[in-house]
């Protein structure tokens, strides 16, 4: 596939937009089979815990007891209210030498789930953590070796009361599909230490999504060995740095910061895109990059002296970064562009949580009684899906459910969720036989292969998806057109439909090769950690853009296998890091074949060694052709969110709100012409008649919104 007449959408969601989209009221029905509660929910306000939620009674001991008595992967549920604590709440035991019960590693711990982001509040009492020299977190999720799987913290606020200089809001530490989402972390007097502490040691891969941090010395501090993906993060009122990244791998998409201090200080590897950094001091820099592989795109700073200082490359001197890499773009063919494809970015349309508990099915209630009439877990799940009154199906924790045959997701079902563990080959097939426009599957371990055979939108989140003897290592198949969203998923993926669009955040593939196979379609991945050996990406068609990638190679002999193999397809990657623990790294980073000719990029001839700050494997000739001589017209849109770029009969047209700024950017990333759309009638937008022929970007920006179109000017 070749991308023609691209309309690129890059949306940096602000805090209010993110909160409006994802504001939910998470409720669970209590389900009994006989006298047994099979809900898999621990409501801390009910007996035997009966935690006070008025904020007047210290419930530290009660909450800790609840966690200590439930070490499995269940839901620790906080209904709306304020839970006053005076010491750290530990979600699970620290990893023990020799492993947790029955094996190596750590205990599996419950998910901490609030009823709503603003309504469920864990509050540290005033003056509880006063020792600034020995800070402690309010909430602690784990530590130690990389076996803190499936950690989850969702839909709540952590409020640090006044006079707690030794307090960190949360120590979020997790591995594989660990996810913290829709969480506010607030220091009441602004004097606490760290809002979100992402830890050291073997932290990651994990993800933080839709988080707001107010106050603290540092909004976020990180040094993750295995990488952390952050998306839709808002920071405000920090006194030292918004984000302090000291080492290893951090990938940030959609950051808003309102701070006079630097928004980011980083000495590790970092990829950051779609950021609006306001409130800056005129004597300070918005982003201080002091080491490591670094890539930035679509960054706007206000008030600061400049947007970026970097120890490598030539950063722009002003307050705008269109695109910057710490090293020059690498390519295997001459004449290539020097920037990423800037593929469309689309946010998942989160389905609302079902508010009628009668429509939330629990498969235990569908398994029947004892004896010969009892259904298997797979049969019960299918009957629950096909029951027309249901829109949501829960698979509770505490058992390993055998899925020994195909499951069809159809009918009115919009959500299937755990937390739970599966076994068996499945597969789960999402079909077109459904009324719900969006289907979400989440919080399952060892889920059987998932096959998308529907044009409906599919969201896969917090999953470990296994292969099978029937399908091999591949565990997610995108076979139909339409949108698919992947978030915090451990899987191996194959995309084969030319009209498929896939967006992924925190993709964790641990296969032995073929971890991403793209034969057609459009694929955008932000934050990918991989390990083991073999060819990781086989891109044999379509267009694929990867931003933020870590290959954690093990001791196996990798021979001449490249990490990435591209054959007659569009591909680019930025912010790639690569290291090995024991057997040496790959010797070949990329193999690219065009029209039967194959070239490779070995580590030995790569100026950046084992890393790839930016690699390009697409041609600008694949983009649309336009005439921009004389200048064409732009107009302001009636809808303030309506903006875009189009080519009509070879004529470039730009539109947007009255405050929109239109820029023409050359292949080096330099702005060569700009203008403002200032009226609601056609007006001249770009003076480009004197520019040479060649490839350019046209970008229109208005606040958090932007549209980009790559064109070729001809005379």
DSSP category for residue 363: G
Respond yes or no on whether the N-terminal peptide bond of residue 630 is cis (omega within 30° of 0): yes
What are the tens digits of pLDDT across the range 381-408?
999 999 999 999 999 887 788 888 899 9
Side-chain-facing half-sphere of 238: CA atoms under 13 Å: 32
* Dihedral Cα 656, 661, 665, 671, nearest 10 deg: 170
User: Which of 1.10.10, 2.60.40, 3.40.50, 1.10.760 would CATH assign to domain 623-714?
Assistant: 2.60.40
CA distances from residue 388 to 27, 28, 356, 410 in whole angstroms, order as listed: 21, 19, 14, 10
DSSP category for residue 642: -
Note the residue count of the chain. 715
Encoding tokens for residue 174? 């997790």
Q: Characterize the bridge pairing of strands 671-676 and 661-666.
A: antiparallel
Burial 311-334 (b: 16+ CB within 10 A, else e): ebbebbeebbbbbbbbbebbbbee
Respond yes or no on whether the N-terminal peptide bond of residue 222 is cis (omega within 30° of 0): no
Choose among 247, 165, 255, 143: nearest CA to 526. Answer: 255
CB atoms within 10 A of CB 483: 20
Q: How far is CA 281 from the centre of its chain?
A: 30
Mark residue 206 as left, alpha or beta (left: phi above 0; alpha: psi -120 to 50; beta: remaining).
beta
CA dist 551 and 586 (Å) reads 9
Let me know: does 454 contact 474? Beta carbons within 8 Å: no
Residue boundaries of the structural domains of the chain: 13-259, 397-621, 623-714
Q: pTM surpassing 0.75?
A: yes
SS3 at position 649: coil
Q: Topology of domain 13-259, per CATH?
A: Pectate Lyase C-like (2.160.20)
User: 3-state SS string over 128-165?
Assistant: CCCCCCCCEEEEECCCCCCCCECCEEEEEEEEECCCCC
Burial of 383 (0-12, 13-18, 19+ CB in 10 A): middle
Do the two domains 13-259 and 397-621 of this chain adopt the same fold?
yes
CA dist 625 and 643 (Å) reads 21
Let me know: does 347 contact 11? Beta carbons within 8 Å: yes
What pLDDT does 374 receive?
79
Residues of the chain with pLDDT under 50: 1-23, 94-107, 370-371, 621-641, 647-650, 677-687, 704, 715
CB atoms within 10 A of CB 581: 12
> Residue 65: enclosing H or E segment and its boundaries?
helix 60-68
What are the tens digits of pLDDT across the range 35-46?
567 788 999 999
> Residue 60: enclosing H or E segment and its boundaries?
helix 60-68
What pLDDT does 94 receive?
42
Let me know: does 131 contact 95? Beta carbons within 8 Å: no
Angle (CA) 232 238 244, round 5°: 70
CA dist 361 and 638 (Å) reads 45
Choose among 189, 38, 569, 564: nearest CA to 343. Answer: 569
What pLDDT does 471 receive?
72
Listed in sequence order, the residues at least 6 apart from 442 whose beta carbon sits closer than 8 Å to its beta carbon are 415, 416, 417, 418, 459, 460, 461, 462, 463
Listed in sequence order, the residues at least 6 apart from 285 whose beta carbon sits closer than 8 Å to its beta carbon are 262, 304, 305, 306, 307, 308, 309
Let me know: does 202 contact 144? Beta carbons within 8 Å: yes
Q: How far is CA 165 from the centre of its chain?
A: 31
> Residue 624: enclosing H or E segment and its boundaries?
strand 624-627
What pLDDT does 690 receive?
58
Choose among 242, 241, 209, 256: nearest CA to 228. Answer: 209
Give phi and psi for 608, each to the nearest 5: -95, 10
Choose among 222, 85, 72: nearest CA to 149. Answer: 72
The DSSP-derived string for 225-253 is TT-EEEEEEEEE--SSEEEEE-SSEEEEE
Burial 83-120 (b: 16+ CB within 10 A, else e): bbbbbbbbbbbebeeeebeeeebbbbbbbbbbbbbebb
CA dist 76 and 153 (Å) reads 10
CA dist 85 and 190 (Å) reads 19
Beta strand extents in 466-540 (DSSP E only): 476-478, 482-490, 493-495, 500-509, 516-518, 522-532, 537-539
CA dist 87 and 99 (Å) reads 26
Alpha helices in 348-507 (DSSP H): 377-386
Q: Which residue has 């549209």 as its token pair?
A: 707
What pLDDT does 105 receive?
45
Alpha helices in 326-417 (DSSP H): 377-386
Listed in sequence order, the residues at least 6 apart from 297 whose beta carbon sits closer than 8 Å to its beta carbon are 272, 273, 274, 321, 322, 323, 324, 340, 342, 547, 574
What pLDDT does 29 receive?
87
Encoding tokens for residue 81? 């209210």
Encoding tokens for residue 436? 């719900």
Mark residue 302 as left, alpha or beta (left: phi above 0; alpha: psi -120 to 50; beta: remaining).
beta
CA dist 253 and 547 (Å) reads 10
DSSP category for residue 85: E
Mean model confidence pLDDT for the chain:
82
Q: How far is CA 503 from the centre of its chain?
A: 9
Give phi and psi for 585, each to the nearest 5: -80, 180
CA dist 91 and 78 (Å) reads 13
Q: Topology of domain 397-621, per CATH?
A: Pectate Lyase C-like (2.160.20)
What pLDDT does 700 receive?
65
């Amino acid at each position: 596939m070749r991308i023609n007449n691209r309309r690129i959408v890059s949306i940096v969601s602000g805090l209010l937009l993110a909160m409006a989209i994802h504001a939910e009221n998470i409720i669970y029905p209590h389900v009994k089979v006989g006298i047994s509660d099979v809900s898999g929910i621990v409501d801390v306000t009910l007996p035997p815990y009966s935690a006070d939620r008025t904020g007047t009674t210290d419930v530290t001991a009660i909450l800790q007891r609840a966690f200590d008595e439930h070490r499995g992967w269940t839901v620790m549920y906080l209904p709306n209210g304020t839970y006053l604590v005076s010491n750290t709440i530990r979600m699970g035991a620290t990893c023990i030498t020799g492993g947790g019960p029955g094996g190596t590693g750590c205990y599996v711990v419950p998910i901490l789930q609030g009823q709503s982001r603003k309504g469920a509040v864990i509050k540290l009492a005033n003056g509880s953590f006063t020792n600034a020299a020995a800070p402690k977190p309010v909430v602690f999720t784990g530590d130690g070796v990389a076996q803190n799987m499936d950690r989850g913290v969702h839909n709540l606020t952590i409020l640090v009361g006044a006079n707690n200089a030794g307090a960190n809001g949360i120590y979020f530490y997790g591995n594989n599909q660990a996810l913290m989402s829709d969480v506010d972390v607030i220091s009441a007097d602004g004097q606490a230490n760290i809002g979100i502490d992402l830890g050291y040691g073997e932290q990651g891969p994990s993800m933080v999504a839709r988080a707001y941090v107010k106050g603290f010395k540092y909004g976020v501090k990180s040094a993750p060995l295995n990488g952390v993906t952050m998306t839709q993060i808002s920071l405000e009122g920090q006194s030292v740095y918004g984000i302090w990244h000291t080492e290893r791998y951090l990938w940030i998409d959609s950051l808003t910061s309102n701070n006079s201090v630097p928004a980011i200080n980083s000495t590790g590897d970092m990829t950051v895109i779609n950021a609006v950094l306001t409130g800056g001091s005129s004597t300070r820099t918005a982003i201080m990059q002091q080491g490591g592989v670094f890539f930035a795109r679509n960054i706007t700073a206000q008030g600061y002296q400049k947007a970026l200082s970097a120890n490598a490359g030539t950063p722009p001197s002003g307050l705008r970064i269109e695109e910057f890499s710490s090293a020059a773009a690498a390519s295997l063919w001459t004449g290539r562009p020097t920037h990423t494809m800037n593929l469309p970015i689309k946010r998942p349309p989160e389905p609302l949580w079902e508010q009628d508990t009668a429509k939330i099915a629990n498969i235990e209630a569908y398994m029947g009684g004892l004896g010969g009439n009892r259904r298997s877990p797979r049969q019960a799940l299918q009957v629950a899906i096909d029951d027309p009154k249901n829109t949501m199906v829960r698979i509770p924790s505490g058992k390993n459910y055998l899925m020994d045959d195909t499951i069809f997701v159809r009918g009115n079902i919009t959500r299937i969720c755990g937390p739970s563990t599966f076994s068996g080959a499945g597969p789960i097939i999402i079909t077109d036989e459904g009324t719900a426009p969006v289907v979400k599957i989440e919080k399952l371990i060892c889920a059987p292969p998932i096959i998308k055979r529907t044009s409906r939108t599919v969201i896969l989140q917090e999953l470990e998806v296994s292969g099978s003897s029937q399908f091999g290592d591949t565990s997610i198949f995108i076979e139909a057109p339409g949108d698919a969203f992947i978030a915090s998923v451990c899987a191996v993926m194959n995309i084969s439909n030319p009209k498929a669009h896939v967006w992924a955040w925190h993709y964790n593939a641990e296969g032995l090769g073929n971890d991403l196979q793209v034969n057609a379609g459009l694929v955008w991945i932000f934050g990918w950690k991989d390990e083991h050996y073999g060819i990781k990406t086989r891109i044999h068609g379509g267009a694929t853009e990867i931003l933020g990638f870590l290959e954690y190679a093990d001791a196996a002999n990798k021979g001449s296998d490249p990490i990435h193999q591209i054959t007659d397809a569009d591909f680019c990657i930025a912010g790639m890091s690569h290291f090995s623990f024991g057997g040496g790294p790959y010797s070949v980073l990329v193999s690219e074949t065009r029209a039967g000719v194959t070239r490779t990029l070995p580590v030995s001839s790569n100026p950046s060694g084992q890393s790839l700050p930016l690699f390009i494997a697409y041609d600008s000739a694949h983009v649309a052709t336009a005439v921009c001589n004389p200048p064409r017209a732009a107009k302001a849109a009636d809808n303030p969110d309506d903006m875009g770029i189009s080519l009509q009969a070879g004529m470039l047209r730009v539109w947007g709100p009255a405050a929109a700024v239109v820029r023409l950017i050359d292949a080096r990333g330099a702005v060569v012409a700009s203008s403002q759309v200032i009226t609601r009638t056609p007006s001249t937008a770009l003076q480009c008649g004197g520019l040479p022929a060649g490839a350019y970007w046209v970008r229109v920006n208005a606040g958090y919104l932007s549209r980009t179109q790559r064109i070729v000017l001809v005379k």
